[in-house]
């Protein structure tokens, strides 16, 4: 058993060291938009909310909150808001809320993390940082 330990340890160490690299599978704004919409229509569910990096308990309305993105660059959420979005680069998501009180509202989010199953975005508002984690 001892003679197998070192080779197995080395193989596992090498294999796991490659897993720590930050690989961005979203190489262009168009690919980010495709991932956001799943090249059709995709609904994301709010999983967590942070204000100034402090986790916030989700309200009952936030627990069921969803946002749906479509490949025609439109979006809608479960609160009844609708609008359009653009992806200026691989680290930004810009949304225009068409039916916001007081007229159209534009918010530019920073894409903090984006995998095929999770989207983390944040923006600054009133000297605070708001981070939203969405999943499937």
Q: pLDDT tens-digit profile of 42-97?
A: 999 999 999 999 999 999 999 999 999 999 999 999 999 999 999 999 999 999 99
Q: How many CB atoms lie within 10 A of CB 42?
A: 17
The Cα–Cα gap between 53 and 20 comes to: 23
Q: Locate all alpha helices (DSSP H) within 1-52, ordered by sequence.
A: 2-19, 29-37
The average confidence (pLDDT) of the chain is 85
Report the pLDDT value the prediction gives residue 107, as an integer from 0 to 100.
96
CATH code that applies to domain 27-135: 2.40.128
- The domain locations on the chain are 27-135
Query: What element of type H or E holds 47?
Result: strand 41-51
């Amino acid at each position: 058993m001892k003679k197998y330990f070192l080779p197995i340890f080395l193989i596992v160490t090498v294999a796991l060291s490659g897993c720590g690299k930050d690989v961005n599978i979203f190489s262009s704004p168009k690919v980010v938009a495709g991932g956001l919409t799943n090249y059709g229509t995709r609904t994301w569910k709010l999983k967590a909310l942070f204000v100034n990096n402090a986790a916030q308990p989700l309200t009952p309305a936030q627990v069921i909150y969803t946002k749906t993105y479509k490949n025609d660059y439109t979006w809608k959420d479960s609160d009844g808001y609708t609008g359009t979005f653009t992806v200026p680069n691989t680290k930004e998501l810009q949304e225009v809320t068409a039916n916001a009180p007081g007229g159209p509202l534009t918010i530019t989010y920073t894409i903090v993390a984006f995998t095929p199953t999770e989207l983390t975005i944040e923006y600054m508002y009133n000297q605070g940082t708001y981070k939203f984690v969405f999943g499937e």
